[in-house]
């Protein structure tokens, strides 16, 4: 197993009890008569422990340890608050994208649809997402960090969530419009993945350890390229990965009409006939396996795959370069090594 | 014009410029290239200034002035943050309830549906609600209150939003199940309206003015009955009010299948034939004006209307009783008078 995966799994195991404890507290604060409220809390708890990578939480922890060592145990609570924010965004995304599966199990709004209307399922999904968002802030505010620190962290988090919302909006609009330029796609990746998944958690951890503006800037030099590479790899896995690893059907991006770098590049380079084939496949809910295989072939033939892989590689190199600056500042060696492993994992992962 | 309405209108006029300024800042922080993000911010700004009552914001202000006089102008920003929270909840509610109108204009998700699919409109509505929620917290955190105060207020707000979410969940479930007891309905009113619309804003204002637990308890004695009365009156207006005043079609609650105190009581008291008529009307999207008039008659005939009016009156008296305790504590006379006017308005309003 790659080093980073071992570390991620260990971290998940280490933080799970805190998550259970938080939900336990939350349930004990909720009147017993509200039995469906208890059920919603349990659904969220289950969702959080379905075996997501818990990448954002570990990055909060890394950001903290990088500058500070290991002073407050409550940094783990902050990192789980980040996971609850992620849960909120995923649940709402799954409604917008009409995804049936998440982490290999039924998406939350689909779970609620069982025996009810689609409207009911989606309403419950909206509420479950809203709940997760507010639980995230609640958990964050319950930690032993100073009020001043909490306010700073919350401001960072709010700004990032706002950008992520705008990124998601752009993403949906690109889907709806059908055709996008690779540069537009990279804009979404920056907003939706690089800032949100990598930069924000690292910044939050580092801010709690006393990082100044200059420190945060250097952290961004690592985080942004790593994040973009992560998203490019995500798209590649979405087309060429195995469903049993990724936890979602292999052609779900295509069926949904998602505009990815692979698709945008292939559309740019493909022959007229092939371009029509891609257009016909995008957003086609009845896409067959044969058609999917054909699109995969076009992506290879047009060298869109090669282009995406090389670009991801370029970002990975940039990201690793930035880690050298971390070392020069005398930041925690163990953490720098783990951030380096993480970058290797990004490019080599199959899930 | 009733006194409370004059005051509410004056307050709205006074706070509008702050709202414009906040959105202006927010837009200037958003890259010009994200033109749809700008549009979403403008949609929210427009929604906030559509002439909602701005009841929650003024209660924040009253809570503050009650104990403290008029020390910080930033209390108005906190009160607008409360309005942004409300905007978030209304936008999501309108998706769940499939409401086309809000404040006499097109609901946000319907606005986005123009020329697009229902899915697209609802996705944008989910995002606009999420955005409003995060803007609310952002505005709150930008005020000149101490970090410690901001954390306390946010904790109160989060707990209240969580309860409101549970209240909305219960509300939807009661709709889906079709038949509810008056006691269940009153439970929803407590969670969704009394705590959220009256108690929380007053508590937040008072907390920022240094209220202790005992003070908050006394404020609840006013707020909870006032809030329940407000919701009962809302239901009465929903059945017997005029569309041009309420800003929504007069039979929208019925068409949506909403379980109100009026309906629950009428179902309890009606003859078998009349009960069947109510059941047939609930959730019937093609309800005619004649059918609506018939249900109104049944509500009168069963004395469900009289029951609801008397119950609201009882709560109003409780609420006014509590105001006497405010006076004994030497709290701000002008505010106490305005809280008393507000209670009169609750029971006498036509919108």
* Residue-wise pLDDT tens digits, B41-54: 999 999 998 878 89
Say whether B77 sits in a helix, a strand or coil.
helix
| Residue to test with chain A: of B90, B93, B126, most A Cβ within 10 A | B126
Query: pLDDT, tens digit, for every residue of B128-184?
Result: 999 999 999 999 999 999 999 999 999 999 999 999 999 999 888 887 776 678 888
**Cβ neighbours of A92 in B, within 8 Å:** 126-127, 130
Asked if residue A170 and residue A319 are part of one domain, the reply reads: yes
Q: How many alpha carbons fall within 13 Å on the CB side of residue A148? A: 3
Least CB–CB distance from A127: residue in B36, B98, B165 = B165
What pLDDT was estimated at residue B244?
A: 64
Whether the pLDDT of residue B270 is over 80: the answer is: yes
HEC sequence for chain A: CCHHHHHHHHHHHHHHHHHHHHHHHHHHCCCCCCHHHHHHHHHHHHHHCCCCCCHHHHHHHHHHHHHHCCCCCCHHHHHHHHHHHHHHHHHHHHHHCCCCEECCEECHHHHHHCCCCHHHHHHHHHHHHHHHHHHHHHHHHCCCCCHHHHHHHHHHHHHHHHHHHHHHHHHHHHHHHCCCCHHHHHHHHHHHHHHHHHHHHHHHHHHHCCCCHHHHHHHHHHHHHHHHHHHHHHHHHHHHCCHHHHCCCCCHHHHHCCCCHHHHHHHHHCCHHHHHHHHHHCCCCCCCHHHHHHHHHHHHHCCHHHHHHHHHHHHHHHHHHHHHHHHHCCCCHHHHHHHHHHHHHHHHCCC
> In the structure encoding, which two tokens stand for residue B174, read together?
């009661």
Single pTM value for the model: 0.93
> What share of residues in chain B are helix, strand, coil (percent, to 5)?
80, 0, 20
Within this chain, do residues A175 and A300 fall inside the same structural domain, yes or no?
yes
Q: Is there a contact between A34 and B166 if contact means CB atoms under 8 Å apart? A: yes
Smallest Cβ–Cβ distance between B148 and the set A147, A155, A173 belongs to A147
Looking at residue B300, its pLDDT comes to 94
Same domain, A209 and A296: yes
Q: What's the average model confidence in pLDDT over B251-274?
A: 88
Q: Is residue A111 part of a domain?
A: yes
The one-digit pLDDT tens for each residue of chain A (351 residues) are 677 888 889 999 999 999 999 999 999 999 998 899 999 999 999 999 887 889 999 999 999 999 976 678 899 999 999 999 999 999 999 999 998 888 889 999 999 998 899 999 999 999 999 999 999 999 999 999 999 999 999 999 999 999 999 999 988 888 777 667 888 888 888 888 899 999 999 999 999 999 999 999 999 999 999 999 999 998 999 888 776 666 666 677 888 888 899 999 999 999 999 999 999 998 888 888 888 999 999 999 999 999 999 999 999 999 999 999 999 999 999 999 999 999 999 888 876
- For residues B315-334, average pLDDT: 95
pLDDT > 90? residue B334 = yes
* Calpha distance A337→A66 (Å, rounded): 11
Q: Which two tokens stand for residue B178?
A: 């079709």
Most B-contacting residue of A98, A127, A149, A153 (CB-CB within 10 A), to test interface: A127
> For the complex shown, is ipTM > 0.90?
yes
Max Cα separation, chain B? Answer: 63
Q: Verify whether the Cβ–Cβ distance B169 to A37 is below 8 Å.
A: yes
Interchain pair A165, B130: CB under 8 A: yes
Q: Which of B136, B158, B180 best probes binding to A when mutated, by most A CB atoms within 10 angstroms? A: B158
pLDDT band at B246 (very low <50, low <70, confident <90, very high): low
Pair A33, A65 in one domain: yes
Same domain, A151 and A141: no
Contacts of A34 in chain B (CB under 8 A): 166, 170
Return the pLDDT at A248.
63
Residue at A162 is within a domain: yes
Same domain for A22 and A90: yes
* Residue A105 resides in a domain: yes
* Residue A106 forms contact with B (CB below 8 Å): no
CATH number at residue A135: 1.10.600.10
Determine, yes or no, domain membership for A348: no
CB contact under 8 A, A161 and B30: no
Which residue of B127, B170, B173 is in closest CB contact with A165?
Answer: B127
- Please answer yes or no on whether A172 and B123 come within 8 Å at the CB atom: yes
Which of A96, A119, A145 represents a domain boundary (last residue)?
A: A145
- Within 8 A by CB and 6+ apart from B293, the residues are none
Q: Determine, for residues B120 and A172 on separate chains, whether the beta-carbon distance falls below 8 Å.
A: yes
Of A129, A145, A161, the one marking the end of a domain is A145
CA B311, B313, B319, B322 torsion-angle sign: negative
Domain final residue, candidates A145, A164, A184: A145
Residue A212 phi, psi (nearest 5): -100, 180
**Together in a domain, A103 and A44:** yes
Q: Residues A87, A157: one domain? A: no
Same domain, yes or no, for A190 and A111?
A: no
Same domain for A135 and A221, yes or no, is no
User: What are B14-42's pLDDT values in tens digits?
Assistant: 999 999 999 999 999 999 988 999 999 99
Q: Which residue of A has its CA nearest to B128?
A: A165
Query: Does A326 lie in the same domain as A186?
Result: yes
Residue A54 C-alpha from the chain's centroid: 9
- Whether the per-residue pLDDT at B350 is higher than 80: the answer is no
Domain assignment present for A246: yes
Nearest residue to A279 via CA among A304, A254, A301, A307:
A254
* B99 phi, psi to nearest 5 deg: -85, 135
pLDDT value of residue A247: 61
Instruction: Decide if pLDDT at B77 tops 90.
Output: yes
Domain coverage including residue A81: 1-145
Separation of alpha carbons B39 and A226, rounded Å: 31
Overall number of domains in chain B: 1
DSSP string, B86-139: HHHHHHHHHHHTT--EETTEE-HHHHHHTTS-HHHHHHHHHHHHHHHHHHHHHH
Are A162 and A132 in a shared domain? no
């Amino acid at each position: 197993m790659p080093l980073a995966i071992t570390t991620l799994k260990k971290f998940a195991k280490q933080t799970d009890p805190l998550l259970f404890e938080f939900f336990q507290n939350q349930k004990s604060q909720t009147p017993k008569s509200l039995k469906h409220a208890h059920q919603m809390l349990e659904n969220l708890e289950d969702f959080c422990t379905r075996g997501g990578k818990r990448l954002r939480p570990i990055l909060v922890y890394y950001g903290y340890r990088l500058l500070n060592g290991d002073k407050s145990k409550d940094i783990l609570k902050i990192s789980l608050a980040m996971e609850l924010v992620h849960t909120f965004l995923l649940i709402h995304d799954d409604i917008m994208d009409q995804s049936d599966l998440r982490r290999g199990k039924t998406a939350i709004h689909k779970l609620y649809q069982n025996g009810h209307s689609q409207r009911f399922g989606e309403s419950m999904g909206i509420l479950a997402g809203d709940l997760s968002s507010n639980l995230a802030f609640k958990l964050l505010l319950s930690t032993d960090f100073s009020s001043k620190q909490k306010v700073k962290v919350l401001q960072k988090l709010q700004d990032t969530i706002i950008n992520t919302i705008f990124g998601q909006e752009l993403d949906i609009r690109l889907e709806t419009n059908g055709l996008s330029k690779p540069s537009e796609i990279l804009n979404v990746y920056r907003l939706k993945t690089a800032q949100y998944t990598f930069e924000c958690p690292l910044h939050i951890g580092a801010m709690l350890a006393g990082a100044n503006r200059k420190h945060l800037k250097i952290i961004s030099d690592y985080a942004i390229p790593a994040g973009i590479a992560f998203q490019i790899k995500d798209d590649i896995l979405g087309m060429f990965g195995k469903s049993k690893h990724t936890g979602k059907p292999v052609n779900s991006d295509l069926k949904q009409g998602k505009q990815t770098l692979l698709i945008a590049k292939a559309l740019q380079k493909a022959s007229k006939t092939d371009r029509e084939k891609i257009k016909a496949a995008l957003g086609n809910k009845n896409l067959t396996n044969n058609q999917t295989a054909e699109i995969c072939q076009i992506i290879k033939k047009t060298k869109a795959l090669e282009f995406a892989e090389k670009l991801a590689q370029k970002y990975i190199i940039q990201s690793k370069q930035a880690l050298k600056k971390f070392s020069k500042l005398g930041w925690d060696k163990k953490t720098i090594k783990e951030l380096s492993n993480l970058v290797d994992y990004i490019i080599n992962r199959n899930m």
